Amino acid sequence: MPYILEVQRFDCCGHIIHPQWNGKSEHIGYINKIFKTKQEASDYYDKFNPHMRSLNAHNTWCSDWDPNNCLRYVVREYFFEYLKIPPFERRQCVYLEKVI
């Protein structure tokens, strides 16, 4: 089964500002890279985010939210979603700043 990384924006006050929402994270998109295993996706995240704990540090396949940009990453099974966000190795900070 192939896997991908979902990008979410964490908002600790999202459920207060928008009570109709259920949760504190907003879906941004998926990174344009497909992985053979969950572990491969986690290792990829860890390689490009050395300032953060391992993506699977709590055995949830979900990263902590990054205090620099409020983004977090979740390993998902790939079901042919649009993979619009450039991979870490080709990403420019400007892209995600526009999305957020």
24-57 tens-digit pLDDT = 788 999 999 999 999 999 999 999 999 999 999 9
pTM, to two decimals: 0.81
CA 27: distance to chain centroid? 9
| Token output for 58 | 């709590």
Confidence (pLDDT) at 92: 54
Q: Does residue 63 carry a pLDDT above 90?
A: yes
Handedness of CA 24, 93, 81, 58 (dihedral sign): negative
The tally of domains found in the chain comes to: 1
In degrees and rounded to multiples of 5, residue 2 shows phi and psi of -80, 155
pLDDT-above-90 percentage for the chain: 65
Confidence (pLDDT) at 26: 86
Mean pLDDT of 55-63: 96
- Per the structure, the complete domain to which residue 70 belongs is given by 3-99
Task: Name beta bridge partners: 5.
Answer: 75
